[in-house]
Amino acid sequence: MEYYVGVFIFAFFLRWSSASTSFYGDTTRFVHAGCSQLNYTQNTPYQYNLNSLLASLANSASTSTFSKFTSTSASPSFPVYGYYQCRGDLSIPTCHFCVRSAITQLAPICTCSSSAAIQLRGCSIRYGNDSFLDQPDKTLIYRRCGSMSGTIRNGYEADLVGMREGVLEALVDGGQTALYKARRVGDIDGVSQCVGDQTVANCGDCVDEGVKEMRDACGGPAVTGEVYLGKCYVVYSLSSSETNGHGMKISKKEIAVIVGITTAVLALVLLLYFLGKYFARGKG
Ligand SMILES: *[C@@H]1O[C@H](CO)[C@@H](O)[C@H](O)[C@H]1NC(C)=O
Ligand SMILES: *[C@@H]1O[C@H](CO)[C@@H](O)[C@H](O)[C@H]1NC(C)=O
């Protein structure tokens, strides 16, 4: 009985902490994809090179959060270029899982397209027969803003806009020093991520552009904003502790403490229970 109470509490906190519309949620959730109109022909050297490229991407993601390849193994006359990029905070196993999912999700969307790209929450892949690797690319590919419905309390909208501006400033502030940046201002989490083939200077340019697009598109008190350019993206969202509607913050460390205390209390309860049984039997 006590054991089940403990398990319940544990499950409840885990659920609570993961209940979120934040981009930190499910890394394999689909964001957008695009395919070229041009198609390759089946069973051609191009397709063999592409298959080999996809295998390289999937394999490489088990050791690194970014890789780029030029696949010419079947025929050097029809090279296929490609990369994958995981978000900077992902562990290698999570990155690997995400990249494999991206390949699986892209296949039915862009069957036989000579070029294609897909963005999931945690990772992206892109391939094609034009040499886009190492080139800067600030083309707007996709953007969307969340609604302001649901959890927003009265008078909170102005704060929200202020915090969002703070995060966007923090993402462009001091220039780009890394390809991945995560910042929090108040209740807003923001992330910028560039593709690993970019210099930090090009990355900074791209993120600047992304932030401009964000201000254009999500000027109001939107709870989330996402802007995806050719070689970078900028996203923000209300932190998970706010979107759960309780306004209570609970961190992983706190969960560890709660789990620890719950476990200790359970152990004590069980110990007392067995001691009680032992002495009861001793008496009887
Ligand atoms: C490529 O294939 C897609 C889907 O099979 C088709 O809609 C499209 O028209 C094709 N493109 C060309 C240029 O034939
Ligand atoms: C890419 O492939 C398409 C279709 O096979 C072809 O028409 C196009 O010229 C190729 N582009 C490059 C840069 O090779």
For residue 46, the CA-to-ligand 2 centroid distance in Å is 10
From the CB of 42, is ligand 1 less than 6 Å away? no
Q: Is residue 265 very low, low, confident or very high in pLDDT (cuts 50, 70, 90)?
A: confident
| CATH code of the domain made up of 140-243 | 3.30.430.20
**pLDDT value at residue 92:** 97
Q: Are 45 and 77 in contact (CB under 8 A)?
A: yes
- Kindly report the pTM of this predicted structure: 0.76
Please list the residue range(s) of the chain that carry CATH number 3.30.430.20. Answer: 18-128, 140-243
- Of all protein residues, the one whose alpha carbon is nearest to atom 1 of ligand 1 is 39
- Of all protein residues, the one whose alpha carbon is nearest to atom 9 of ligand 1 is 37
The two structure tokens encoding residue 269: 């309860």
| CATH code of the domain made up of 18-128 | 3.30.430.20
Closest ligand (CA of 79): 2
Residue 64 above 70 pLDDT? Answer: yes
Among candidate residues 194, 196, 234, 239, the one with its CA nearest the CA of residue 212? 234
Q: Stretch 115-133: mean pLDDT, rounded?
A: 97
pLDDT exceeding 90 applies to what percent of the chain? 62
Q: Are 49 and 142 in contact (CB under 8 A)?
A: no
From the CB of 114, is ligand 2 less than 6 Å away? yes
Q: Are 68 and 44 in contact (CB under 8 A)?
A: no
Q: Which of 114, 115, 133, 135 to mutate to test the pocket of ligand 2 (most atoms within 8 A of CB)?
A: 114
From the CB of 129, is ligand 2 less than 6 Å away? yes
